[in-house]
Chains A and B, each alone.
Chain A
């Protein structure tokens, strides 16, 4: 039972990171109708930006997190303007292949700059804490709290602001939003900036949690992100959070009771099952059409 609860605890930390990455992925999809395979590289860019910044700011965790988010924001804006908008109106598969190409470019640019060897931060993970039934490091707790805070902020932004309203309108129908007087181009741009910032931050806490990371950091997290997104229902930010929770727990618990090297195999198996039986998400009633594929 203790083992189970510890793995649930770690699963919650994994789920928190996964939730942020998946929300960013789903926001990109919501406004641009693109499954962005270069999404993982936004995380990688955030992680490496924080790595570059940590020496400048004397190991300040908050500064490093802000740098990661800022780098992600810039990368998200550039990705939208330089790639996604360029392929607007082309078939979904074409855009998808283009993002796959972009992923290759960005990942190897990072490798050219920083080298292929793994690097690591020098932040302390802090001591272990027993909270309720769980066992967490200070780092784990920071990750979970910050993810909850970011999720809360996204909720307020999407539900309570004019920008959020515009994002929801554009994600329903970009043309209709445009003719209703919503500056769709700028809203899409803003959403990509937001998604980039979330992804950059997620990359930072992912790298910090794993310990050492390389240029493949984000790409290897991508399929997990997609699994969480699909579990929740792609294009639906709040359901995505639920999907992330589910996937984070499933892989952590499955990984604890089987060989942990196969942890990701469980996630991939889950993804295949979801694709086959619930491609619109677990929380959608059968027959309801939530997403136009």
Chain B
């Protein structure tokens, strides 16, 4: 069961990373709000499935919808939020200005969710989504977890296929041309904002999907689960795998997640200092980011650019 859990988590984050890679790898926008999209997807899935809150717990909605319906609605909610942030941040802001703006947006959101309890019960967060559909499917707890892993892997494969098709499509090539030279792309008649905006919404939808799956995986969600810095692990994974190369990104996520979790099992973890292990893991992730950027910025499996075959 240990491995089922690790692989499920890695597969969920691979979906998130594929979405983020469309935004950063293809369109070239370094976004720091993305973990907020996963969080919103997770929160929305929960409040749509776990029913009315019992005081003193409080959160919005509180419906008893079937899980797949809730998942779709959660993705829709995430896309709406991304549409708002993207409309503001993508219009004129690029590079660091874009990154700082998205970071302040997600930080403001974080503070509001943490302090405004009627939304998602503030710091306590929401919980209670335990294996939706387990009784209907007549499964044991462990059996359900294995089936869930299967579902996540199938979804990951579908997303991966979709992203790969998109990557090779005219849309994917247009995004890369905008990344390389926005002015040239505009001069050739490409709508820069609209292309970046569509890529952003697509990426955010994948983040929302990952969030909805993550809700089932951990069955409880509160602000400590999504500090904006969590996103750096995903960026590290994309950097290792190869920015702009979907299969590389998936390999990077599995490598970094499983590699780090396995590695940190063998690191010293004094029982008097429970924060020592996680902190050391973060240090290593930070170092990994710096070293990859310095020595191998294209990643282990670098982006394969489609060649212009030209008229025969």
Give 7 nearest A-B pairs by CB, closest first. A101-B289, A104-B286, A105-B286, A268-B104, A108-B282, A268-B108, A108-B279
- Residues of chain A within 8 A (CB-CB) of B115 are 259, 261-262
- Residues of chain A within 8 A (CB-CB) of B285 are 101, 104
Tell me the nearest residue of chain A to B287, going by C-beta: A105
Contact residue among B92, B104, B282 (Cβ-Cβ distance under 8 Å from A272): B104
Q: Is B283 an interface residue (CB 8 A)?
A: yes
- Residues of chain A within 8 A (CB-CB) of B111 are 261-262, 264-265, 268
State whether A92 and B95 are in contact (beta carbons under 8 Å apart), knowing that A83-B290, A97-B235, A98-B293 are contacts in the complex: yes
Tell me the nearest residue of chain A to B282, going by C-beta: A108
Q: Is A183 an interface residue (CB 8 A)?
A: no
The answer on a CB contact under 8 Å between A226 and B282 is no
Among the listed stretches A70-78, A109-117, A241-249, which one makes contact with chain B, having 4 or more residues with CB under 8 Å of it? A109-117
User: A-side interface residues toward B, CB under 8 Å?
Assistant: 35, 83, 86-87, 90, 92-94, 96-98, 100-105, 107-109, 111-112, 115-116, 219, 223, 226-227, 230, 259, 261-262, 264-265, 268-269, 271-272, 275-276, 279, 293
The answer on a CB contact under 8 Å between A275 and B101 is yes
Residue pairs across A and B with Cβ atoms less than 8 A apart, 27 shown, are A35-B96, A86-B294, A87-B293, A87-B294, A93-B30, A97-B30, A97-B235, A97-B289, A97-B293, A101-B285, A101-B293, A104-B282, A104-B283, A104-B286, A105-B282, A105-B283, A105-B290, A108-B282, A108-B283, A109-B283, A262-B111, A262-B112, A264-B111, A268-B108, A269-B108, A275-B93, A276-B88
Instruction: Please report the C-alpha to C-alpha distance between residue A130 and residue B5 in the assembled complex, in whole angstroms.
Output: 61
Q: How distant is A158 from chain B, measured CB to nearest CB, in Å?
A: 24
The answer on a CB contact under 8 Å between B108 and A100 is no
Interface of B is mostly: helix
Q: How distant is B5 from chain A, measured CB to nearest CB, in Å?
A: 24
Tell me the nearest residue of chain A to B272, going by C-beta: A115
Q: Is B297 an interface residue (CB 8 A)?
A: yes
Contact residue among A83, A97, A223 (Cβ-Cβ distance under 8 Å from B107): A223
Instruction: Please report the C-alpha to C-alpha distance between residue A230 and residue B280 in the assembled complex, in whole angstroms.
Output: 33
Instruction: Please report the C-alpha to C-alpha distance between residue A219 and residue B279 in the assembled complex, in whole angstroms.
Output: 15
Q: How distant is A186 from chain B, measured CB to nearest CB, in Å?
A: 23
The answer on a CB contact under 8 Å between A279 and B97 is yes
The answer on a CB contact under 8 Å between B279 and A101 is no
- Residues of chain B within 8 A (CB-CB) of A265 are 108, 111-112
Contact residue among B100, B283, B293 (Cβ-Cβ distance under 8 Å from A35): B100
Interface centre among A93, A223, A226, A230 (most CB of B within 10 A): A93
Contact residue among A103, A104, A115, A272 (Cβ-Cβ distance under 8 Å from B275): A115
Contact residue among A98, A261, A264, A272 (Cβ-Cβ distance under 8 Å from B88): A272
Q: Is B273 an interface residue (CB 8 A)?
A: yes
Instruction: Please report the C-alpha to C-alpha distance between residue A276 and residue B114 in the assembled complex, in whole angstroms.
Output: 26
Tell me the nearest residue of chain A to B275, going by C-beta: A116
Q: How distant is A41 from chain B, measured CB to nearest CB, in Å?
A: 11
Interface of A is mostly: helix
- Residues of chain A within 8 A (CB-CB) of B88 are 272, 276
User: B-side interface residues toward A, CB under 8 Å?
Assistant: 30, 88, 91-93, 95-97, 99-101, 103-105, 107-108, 111-112, 114-115, 229, 232, 235-236, 273, 275-276, 279-280, 282-283, 285-290, 293-294, 297
- Residues of chain B within 8 A (CB-CB) of A279 are 93, 97
Instruction: Please report the C-alpha to C-alpha distance between residue A271 and residue B108 in the assembled complex, in whole angstroms.
Output: 11
Instruction: Please report the C-alpha to C-alpha distance between residue A259 and residue B103 in the assembled complex, in whole angstroms.
Output: 22
The answer on a CB contact under 8 Å between B280 and A112 is yes
Interface centre among A87, A100, A102 (most CB of B within 10 A): A100
The answer on a CB contact under 8 Å between B286 and A223 is no
Instruction: Please report the C-alpha to C-alpha distance between residue A111 and residue B283 in the assembled complex, in whole angstroms.
Output: 10
The answer on a CB contact under 8 Å between B99 and A96 is yes
The answer on a CB contact under 8 Å between B279 and A112 is yes
- Residues of chain B within 8 A (CB-CB) of A115 are 273, 275
- Residues of chain A within 8 A (CB-CB) of B105 are 268, 272
Instruction: Please report the C-alpha to C-alpha distance between residue A264 and residue B290 in the assembled complex, in whole angstroms.
Output: 29
The answer on a CB contact under 8 Å between A264 and B280 is no
Instruction: Please report the C-alpha to C-alpha distance between residue A104 and residue B275 in the assembled complex, in whole angstroms.
Output: 15
Instruction: Please report the C-alpha to C-alpha distance between residue A4 and residue B191 in the assembled complex, in whole angstroms.
Output: 49
Q: How distant is A226 from chain B, measured CB to nearest CB, in Å?
A: 6
Contact residue among A93, A109, A259 (Cβ-Cβ distance under 8 Å from B96): A93
Instruction: Please report the C-alpha to C-alpha distance between residue A86 and residue B101 in the assembled complex, in whole angstroms.
Output: 27
- Residues of chain A within 8 A (CB-CB) of B97 are 275, 279, 293
- Residues of chain A within 8 A (CB-CB) of B275 are 111-112, 115-116
- Residues of chain B within 8 A (CB-CB) of A87 are 293-294
- Residues of chain B within 8 A (CB-CB) of A275 are 93, 97, 100-101
Q: How distant is B32 from chain A, measured CB to nearest CB, in Å?
A: 9
- Residues of chain A within 8 A (CB-CB) of B297 are 94
Q: How distant is B33 from chain A, measured CB to nearest CB, in Å?
A: 11
